[in-house]
Structure 1
Amino acid sequence: MRVLLGIIGAVIVLGIFASVLRTLVIPRPTPAGFTGFVQRSVSRPFRFMADRLHGVEAKDRVLAPVAPVSIVITLLGWLLSFMLGYGLLEAAVSGLDVHDALYEAGSSLFTLGFASSRRAGLTAIDFCAAATGPIVVGLQIGYLPTLYNAYQRRETEVTLLQTRAGAPPWGPQILARYAQVDLLDDISDLFRGWERWCAVVSETHTTYPVLIHFRSPKADRNWLIALLAVLDAAALRLAFNPSQPQARTRLALRAGFVCLRDIADIRGIPYDADPRPEDPVRLGYEDFLRGVERMRTYGYPMERTAEEAWPHFRGWRVNYETLAYRLAQDIDAVPAPWSGPRRTTLSVWSPPTPVDRRPAS
């Protein structure tokens, strides 16, 4: 029996050590394991409450604490698991029952020391437990600034996009707004910036998957919806303006769907790695025409008709639409045009951007 307790205790301690290393130390995407289980468990009650509320802001207020709370619960879960593992090890090498062994392990892990034993076998385990507690807490404290720095870098571009696309953002609105303020010659700068943004998000959100669930400071903004809007703007630009420079636009598009695929890989979401341009998309042609009309209203120049551009736009969108819709549903992103349905509400149309009024000459 004690041998079995020792084996179980060793497996728990080594398994949690591996989880701590994968989450806080190793700078590369690794399977979620324990942290993924905690994230799913924590999110269920919040999502249950959010599903029974009406209104985007009310849902967002309920869902906003999910990621921070999961970080705290993860730390507590690690410490309690270490206490259980060390307690079973101490029960295996001594005559203590499980209750007393857990009591001594907890005393050592949290560096209280009130239940330390003088037996050599237990003292060695007590030393390991006493070192483990501060190390795990220290690593978690050092992890938080890195996490929030990555969050701030992500949200800066999302906030800047609001002036170009409204809130929530929408691909046709980006092109319409750029045409409205005579900035189409500079739109390559937007795509260049979002190409780099995609690289940063791909690296940080696969290394620290909890960032996927961190919500923007305002309910009508969301990192995924912003990315989808930029990708749609790039696809529309390529579909309607084949004579314009395409390098930056294509690079931004590719960076965007590679980013989505990297995040899908870490979350275990299947996808077609090589879709065909003629494959169907969920966005309907009528919704596409509504977006085209928005662009035309604000004076966006088009070299192709909507009918001619549709196959080209669809051929680009097939690379990212499925993953964007799935992730938007998973994280309960703010409903927005061309972003698919949510679990409890359908996508909505954003209010029109006011006309850029200028003094008459």
Structure 2
Amino acid sequence: MRVLLGVAGAVVVLRLFSSVLRSLVVPRPTRSGFGRFCQRLVHRPFQLVADRLPSAEAKDRVLAPMGAVAVVVTLIGWLASFMVGYALLEAAVSRLGVREALIESGSSLFTLGFASGNRVTLNAIDFLAAVTGPIVIGLQVGYLPALYGAYQRREAEVTLLQARAGSPPWGPEILARYAQVGLLDSLTELFRNWERWSAEVSESHTTYPILIHFRSPKAHRNWLIALLSVMDAAALRLAFSPSQPQAEVRMALRAGFVCLRDLAEIEGVPYDRDPHPDDALRLTYEDFLRGVERMREQGYPMERTPEEAWPQFRGWRINYEALAYRLARDIEAVPAPWSGARRRPVATRAPRTPVDRRPAR
């Protein structure tokens, strides 16, 4: 019996060390099963409440703290599980009962020091537990600045996009507003910035997957919808303006759907790695025409008719539409145009911008 307790305790402690290292130390996409379990444990009750709310704003208020709560629950889960693992080891090398072993391991793990054994083997486990507690807490404290630094860099570009595309953003609205103010030549800079943004998000959100579920500060903003709108704007630019420079536009598109694929892999979302350009889109041709009409209203120059541009646009969008829709559904992103359905029916929000109040002359 003592051997079984010792083996069980060693397995628990070693697997927990592996989870901590993979989540907080190893700088590459390595999702631990323990972290995924804690996230799902936290996500389920938040999502159950959100599913029963009628508006996107109410859902956002409920889901906003979910990511932070998951981080705290994971830390507590690590410490509690370490306490159980060390208690099993201490019970295996001594005559301590379950209660006494838990008290012994807890006293050592949290460096309280109110309980101590007099066996050399027991003291060795106590020393190891005493080292484990501060290490895990210290790693978590060091992990938070990196986590929130990545979050702030992500949100800065999303906030900048609000003035350019409204809120929530929409691909046709980006091109319409750039045409409205005569800044079409600046689109190259926009796509170049979002190519870099996609690469940074791909790196940070696969290293720290909980960031996928960290919501923007405002209910009408969302990082995934922002990326989708920029990719749609790039696809529309390629479809309607073949004579314009295309290198930055194509690279932004590719960086965008590579980012989505990386996130899908870390989230365990299946996807078609080689979609055919002629595959059907979920976006209807009628919705496409409504977006084109918005661009035309603001004077966007079109070198092709909508009928000629539709196959080109569809060929680009097929690379990322299904993934973007699935992730938007999973994280309950703001229901923007061209972003698919959500878990429960909710009204689509059109892009809006605060009114610019000018002083009277």
Quickly name the TM-score band, shorter chain normalised.
over 0.9
- Is 1:325 paired with 2:325? yes
- Is 1:254 paired with 2:236? no
Which residue does the alignment assign to 1:68? 68
Q: Distance in 2 between the 1:349 and 1:133 partners?
A: 47
Instruction: Give CA deviations for 1:307-353 in whole Å, capped at 9, x if unaligned.
Output: 11000000000000000000000001010000000001246141466
- The code of the aligned residue for 1:38 comes to C
Instruction: Give CA deviations for 1:204-257 in whole Å, capped at 9, x if unaligned.
Output: 000000000000000000000000000000000000010110000000000000
Give runs of aligned pairs for residues 233-248 of structure 1, distance below 5 A: 233-248=233-248
Which residue does the alignment assign to 1:3? 3
Deviation at 1:272, TM superposition (A): 1.1
Greater displacement, 80-89 / 30-39: 30-39
Deviation at 1:31, TM superposition (A): 2.6
Which residue does the alignment assign to 2:145? 145
Give yes or no for contact 1:341–1:347 (8 Å, CA) kept in 2: no
SS of corresponding position for 1:332:
coil
Q: Distance in 1 between the 2:161 and 2:95 partners?
A: 65
Deviation at 1:54, TM superposition (A): 1.7
Instruction: Give CA deviations for 1:171-219 in whole Å, capped at 9, x if unaligned.
Output: 0000000000000011000000000000000000000000000000000
Relative distance call for 1:354 and 1:46 in structure 2 (3 A) is closer
Segments of structure 2 that go 5 or more residues without pairing to the other structure are none
Which residue does the alignment assign to 1:102? 102
Q: Taking structure 1 as the reference length, what is the TM-score of the superposition?
A: 0.97
Root mean square deviation of aligned Cα? 1.5
Relative distance call for 1:130 and 1:89 in structure 2 (3 A) is same
Relative distance call for 1:204 and 1:214 in structure 2 (3 A) is same
Segments of structure 1 that go 5 or more residues without pairing to the other structure are none
Give yes or no for contact 2:170–2:351 (8 Å, CA) kept in 1: no
Which residue does the alignment assign to 1:167? 167
Relative distance call for 1:351 and 1:192 in structure 2 (3 A) is closer
Q: Distance in 2 between the 1:309 and 1:298 partners?
A: 18
Give yes or no for contact 2:169–2:351 (8 Å, CA) kept in 1: no
- The code of the aligned residue for 1:302 comes to M
Deviation at 1:32, TM superposition (A): 3.2
Q: Distance in 1 between the 2:56 and 2:173 partners?
A: 21
SS of corresponding position for 1:150:
helix
Q: Taking structure 2 as the reference length, what is the TM-score of the superposition?
A: 0.97
SS of corresponding position for 2:333:
coil
Give yes or no for contact 1:340–1:347 (8 Å, CA) kept in 2: no
Deviation at 1:356, TM superposition (A): 9.4
Give yes or no for contact 2:166–2:173 (8 Å, CA) kept in 1: yes
Which residue does the alignment assign to 1:310? 310
Relative distance call for 1:123 and 1:291 in structure 2 (3 A) is same
Which residue does the alignment assign to 2:292? 292
SS of corresponding position for 2:303:
coil
Greater displacement, 43-52 / 345-354: 345-354
Which residue does the alignment assign to 2:204? 204
- Is 1:193 paired with 2:196? no
Give yes or no for contact 2:167–2:352 (8 Å, CA) kept in 1: no
Give yes or no for contact 1:87–1:104 (8 Å, CA) kept in 2: yes
SS of corresponding position for 2:107:
helix
SS of corresponding position for 1:325:
helix
- The code of the aligned residue for 2:324 comes to A
- The code of the aligned residue for 1:14 comes to L
Give runs of aligned pairs for residues 11-22 of structure 1, distance below 5 A: 11-22=11-22
Which residue does the alignment assign to 2:219? 219
Q: Distance in 1 between the 2:208 and 2:36 partners?
A: 11
- The code of the aligned residue for 1:53 comes to L
